[in-house]
Amino acid sequence: MASIILFNKPYGILSQFSGEDPTTTLSEFIDAPGFYPAGRLDKDSEGLLLLTDCGQLQHQISHPNYDKQKTYWAQVEGTVDENALQQLRRGVALKDGTTKPAEACCIQAPQVAPRIPPIRERKHIPTSWIALKISEGKNRQVRRMTAAVGFPTLRLIRVAVGDWQLEGLAPGDWIKHTLSDEEIKSLKLSSEPRIPHRYRGSAPKPRHRKSPASSRKARGSSKSPS
């Protein structure tokens, strides 16, 4: 059966298992051989990163042709106005093309764990939060979109990918969910997981993280996504 891991990626962690500094990679948090990231989340972004042992599912989540909707909370510099929201909803002209219309609205500051290190705020400039839903995967898209409408992003948290949600996961925590037959059918996957061709014979070797990661790994039991 195909399975998926939901991981709350902290700030400063790469969306990969290997790197010059292992403490900044997924291997510092996740010990699950056979699982690979489905898409990516920038090092300076936080929140929901999905990993799977199914190549078909990995392709569906990461490939832009499937238009998998992603939801972000962005803390931006300045007080966002309706004009900026309308621009985001219409689509923003970037150097690599105009973005598709996004869902955008202002939200109250969410109850989230403090970022480590904290964001750099300018003393006399307020910050505000917006929720953005996009279905594209341009490089650093949300940050470029908010900057283009006059409100640079200071903190970015991805809270949902499709129906999978971050809710209930503290930074650094993860859970594993085995897809039901109904989910496999709805996603149009075969019942047999397969490893992407580019990974065959070169599986990453996640390191065992010492305490307190043992408590995080203990949460890697099967659980339906929120």
What amino acid is encoded at 188 in this protein?
Answer: K
Q: What would the 3-class secondary structure string for the chain be?
A: CCEEEEEEECCCCCCCCCCCCHHHCHHHCCCCCCCEECCCCCCCCEEEEEEECCHHHHHHHHCHHHCCCEEEEEEEECCCCHHHHHHHHHCCEECCEECCCCEEEEECCCCCCCCCCCCCCCCCCCEEEEEEEECCCCCCHHHHHHHHCCCCEEEEEEEEECCEECCCCCCCCEEEEECCHHHHHHCCCCCCCCCCHHHCCCCCCCCCCCCCHHHHHCCCCECCCC
Active site residue 173: no
Q: Interior CA angle at 139 toward 145 and 123, to 5°?
A: 50
The tokens describing 141, both together, are: 């898209």
> Among the options 31, 42, 44, 81, which is catalytic?
42
Active site residues: 42
